[in-house]
Amino acid sequence: MILIPAKRAYTSTIPERTLAWLAYTAPAMKLIRIVCLLSLVAFCSATLLAQNSFTVGTATAAAGQKATGTLEVPAGVDAATSIPVVVVRGNKSGPVLALVSGAHGTEYASIIALEKVIQSLDPTQVSGTVIILPLVNIASFEQKVPHVNPVDGKSMNRFYPGKQDGTQTERVSYAITKQVVERCDYLVDYHGGDIDENLRPYSYWPKSGDAKHDAITRDMVLAFGLDHIIVWSDRPKDPAASRYLDNTANTRGKPAIAVEAGYSGTVQTDDVALLANGTLSLMRYLKTLPGAPAMVEHPVWLGKVDTVTSDQPGIFYPVVQRGTYVEAGMKIGYVTDYFGKTIYEAHAPAAGVVLYICGVPSMKKGDTVANIGEITTNP
C-alpha cells in the first residue's frame, strides 16, 4: 500500500516566501508549459510526417502526394548522371512497388508508357508507395543510341547489382540496387523492341524453384496482361551476380517481372496502352489500387527461346513478321551481299512464335536475326 499524504497537510508546510515566488512565476510557467506543449506537437507532427513520407533521391512524397526529383549518380571514372525519379505516396498503407523503364533508352514505347502512368496515378487512390524511374539510360535516349549506354558502351540491364567504383552503367546499377530494389517489395522492369528489333509484346515469368515466390511472380505476369509469357528458369541465383534488374529484385526476395512491348523506334498507341494498362491491372492485383485485375485467361507459355544469328554480314531481308507462328525449318529471312546475291538463309530451328525479328537491313556477322519462342503446355 502506498500512503498519500493529505494535500492540506502538505501545502501547509510550504513557507510563505515560496508561495509568493510561485504566485509570481505562475504566468511565466504557464507560458513555458504552452511553448513546451506546442514544441512537442510540432516535433511529433514532424516525426509523423517523416515516418509518413518516402524519399528516393531528391524526391520526398508525404502521404497523398506525388513528388518528382532525381537520383544523383556522382562522377567516377567517367561522367556523373542524374536519373529522373517519381515517388507516389498513397494515403493508405500498402507495399512499395518499383517501376523502372528506359535501361535501353531507345525502347521508346516502354518509356512513354511510364510517362502515362506518372500522369494517371492519383495518390489519394493509391495504397502504399510507387517508385517510378521512367528513363534510366538518358545518354542512350538523347543520343538515340540503341542497346547500350554510350558513356561506357555497356548494356544497362547486364551489370546488376552494380559497383560503386565502376563505370557509369555499374554506378547507376549500384544506386538503383541500393535506393530502389532494396527498398521495394515488388518490381517491374519495362523493355521493348529496340530501334532494330521488330517485336511482339511478351513478358517474362522468372521461375526460380521457390514455389511460394514463383506463385506470386506467376500471378504478376498474368495480372499484367501480356498473353505471351516466356518461362525464364535459368536466371543467375547469386544476388551478387544477378546481372538483370528483375533478377536483382527476385534474388533479394522481392517478386519482380520484366515486360516488353513496342518495336523499331515506334510509339504505337496499342503498345503504350498494353504497358500502361498492364501496370494498373498489376497494381489492382497487389491491392495498391482499388478494383479487380484483368488476369490473362489463356496465356501462351514459351518454355524455350531460340536465337537465330547471321553467319554473314550484308543486307537482311525478313520474310516473316513479328508474331508469326513458324514451323521448324521455315525460312524466316535471308542476307545478301551488296550486289544482291543471297549469301545466307535464316531458318527457324524449331516450331514457335517469332518474338522479334531484325527490323533493319543492316546485318553484321553474329547479329541476331530473330528470337523464336517455343510453346510449352506445361510451364
Residues in contact with Zn ion by CB under 5 A are 104, 107, 191
Residue count (the chain): 379
Identity of the residue, 110 or 250, whose beta carbon is nearer to Zn ion in the bound complex: 110
Identity of the residue, 107 or 170, whose beta carbon is nearer to Zn ion in the bound complex: 107
Distance CA 109, CA 190 (A): 9
Identity of the residue, 262 or 318, whose beta carbon is nearer to Zn ion in the bound complex: 262
Report the residue closest to Zn ion, judged by CB: 191
Identity of the residue, 137 or 177, whose beta carbon is nearer to Zn ion in the bound complex: 137
> Grid coordinates in use for 337?
551481299
Identity of the residue, 170 or 189, whose beta carbon is nearer to Zn ion in the bound complex: 189
Residue 128: CB minimum distance to Zn ion, A: 27
User: Considering only CA atoms, which of 315, 318, 307 is closest in space to residue 355?
Assistant: 307
CB neighbours (10 Å) of residue 83? Answer: 23
- Phi, psi at residue 349, to the nearest 5°? -75, -15
Identity of the residue, 65 or 137, whose beta carbon is nearer to Zn ion in the bound complex: 137
Distance CA 33, CA 192 (A): 63
Residue 107: CB minimum distance to Zn ion, A: 5
Identity of the residue, 104 or 207, whose beta carbon is nearer to Zn ion in the bound complex: 104
Residue 141: CB minimum distance to Zn ion, A: 12
Residue 194: CB minimum distance to Zn ion, A: 6
Residue 110: CB minimum distance to Zn ion, A: 8
Identity of the residue, 289 or 302, whose beta carbon is nearer to Zn ion in the bound complex: 302
Identity of the residue, 107 or 185, whose beta carbon is nearer to Zn ion in the bound complex: 107
Residue 157: CB minimum distance to Zn ion, A: 6
Residue 220: CB minimum distance to Zn ion, A: 19
Residue 104: CB minimum distance to Zn ion, A: 4
Q: Are 368 and 333 in contact (CB under 8 A)?
A: no
Residue 133: CB minimum distance to Zn ion, A: 14
Identity of the residue, 56 or 136, whose beta carbon is nearer to Zn ion in the bound complex: 136
User: Considering only CA atoms, which of 111, 112, 146, 262 is closest in space to residue 193?
Assistant: 262
Residue 230: CB minimum distance to Zn ion, A: 14
